[in-house]
């Protein structure tokens, strides 16, 4: 009888336990997943949660170490060891509100309760951030230095435009108009090859100035969409020679200023020009989408 009563009491105690709330890190990740690096979000989020959970259960099942550390931080705060200033260096484009959340500390918080390593990991999950350094100084200063990825080009795919860095990593999908006139690359795989092609274009300013978009065709070669609507078909793997040839033709014959539908440079010893049909209006040079095809 006594055993049965004890069992009922144990069940009642278990049933009365409040459900566990998600950790602060998990909640932060959920709220900001659209602004974070996809791989960093998955790997760091799962890895950190698993490592922390296993480590705490194995080494400190009763949470004694965490409780001692919290009491130490409180004692330090009562002795004046609190955050007096948070200094952020290197910020330019990363959302400032998101950076504040990632740093996770405010003036007046116990400075011993601040974890620089955890803050660094959260900051480096932000898409704009390439690298972060976080320092805690007992004079009350938290110093954060970040290296941001630089906007390099616009990338359009399936009607959506993003800002990418030189490595092809997406750093922004909203408020992209603030980045001015960046080169526009279009199509699947264009983001990975953008830096090489844009560097080749920069050598030929006559071509670059007249180009509206670089269009990746079947993930193997490029077309140029000129501002007047003409498509320039470039050969696979021989873009530099074709661009030099196009610049020479422009200098001698103003070829890119003519009302053409296409300029085909895929054959080194042959130039194919396709004129616009008489009943076909010229393409709109201000159209947002660049025409793409196969070939």
pLDDT computed for residue 23 by the predictor:
52
pLDDT computed for residue 276 by the predictor:
82
For 101, list phi and psi in degrees, rounded to 5: -65, -40
The Cα–Cα gap between 34 and 37 comes to 8
Helix axis angle, 24-31 to 116-123, nearest 10°: 20
Residue with tokens 């095809």: 293
Where do you find CATH 3.10.20.310 in the chain? 79-148
Where do you find CATH 3.40.50.11690 in the chain? 153-275
pLDDT computed for residue 193 by the predictor:
96
pLDDT computed for residue 81 by the predictor:
83
Specify whether the CB–CB gap between 229 and 283 falls below 8 A. Answer: yes
The Cα–Cα gap between 175 and 1 comes to 70
pTM over 0.75: no
Q: Which class is 79-148 in CATH?
A: alpha beta
Encoded tokens for 185 = 């690359």
Specify whether the CB–CB gap between 138 and 81 falls below 8 A. Answer: yes
List the chain pLDDT tens, one digit each, 295 residues: 555 545 555 554 444 555 555 555 555 556 666 667 664 444 444 344 333 343 433 445 545 544 444 444 444 444 458 999 999 999 999 999 999 999 999 999 999 999 999 999 999 999 999 999 999 998 999 999 999 999 999 999 999 999 999 999 999 999 899 998 999 999 999 999 999 999 999 999 999 999 999 999 999 999 999 999 999 999 999 999 999 999 999 999 999 999 999 999 999 999 999 998 755 554 544 444 454 444 5
Q: Which class is 153-275 in CATH?
A: alpha beta
Q: Count other Cβ atoms within 10 Å, centred on residue 186.
A: 24
The Cα–Cα gap between 71 and 140 comes to 18
For 116, list phi and psi in degrees, rounded to 5: -60, -35
């Amino acid at each position: 009888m006594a055993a049965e009563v004890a069992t009922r009491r144990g069940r009642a105690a278990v049933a009365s336990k409040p459900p566990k709330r998600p950790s602060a890190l998990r909640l932060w990740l959920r709220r900001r997943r659209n602004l974070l690096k996809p791989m960093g979000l998955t790997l760091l989020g799962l890895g950190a949660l698993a490592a922390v959970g296993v480590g705490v259960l194995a080494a400190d099942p009763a949470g004694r170490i965490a409780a001692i550390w919290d009491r130490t931080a409180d004692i330090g705060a009562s002795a004046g060891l609190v955050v007096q200033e948070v200094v952020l260096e290197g910020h330019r484009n990363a959302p400032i509100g998101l950076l504040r959340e990632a740093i996770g500390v405010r003036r007046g918080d116990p400075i011993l309760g601040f974890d620089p390593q955890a803050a660094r990991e959260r900051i480096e999950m932000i898409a704009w951030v390439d690298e972060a350094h976080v320092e805690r100084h007992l004079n009350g200063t938290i110093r954060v230095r970040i290296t941001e990825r630089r906007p390099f080009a616009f990338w359009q795919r399936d009607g959506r435009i993003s800002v990418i860095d030189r490595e092809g990593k997406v750093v922004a999908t909203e408020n992209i108009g603030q980045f001015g006139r960046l080169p526009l690359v279009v199509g699947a795989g264009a983001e990975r090859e953008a830096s090489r092609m844009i560097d080749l274009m920069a050598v030929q300013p006559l071509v670059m100035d007249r180009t509206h978009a670089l269009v990746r065709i079947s993930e193997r070669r490029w077309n140029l969409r000129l501002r007047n609507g003409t498509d320039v078909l470039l050969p696979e793997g021989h873009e530099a020679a074709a661009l030099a040839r196009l610049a020479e033709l422009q200098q001698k014959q103003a070829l890119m200023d003519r009302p053409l539908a296409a300029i085909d440079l895929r054959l080194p010893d042959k130039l194919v020009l396709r004129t616009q049909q008489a009943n076909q209006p010229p393409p709109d040079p201000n159209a947002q989408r660049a025409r793409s095809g196969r070939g």
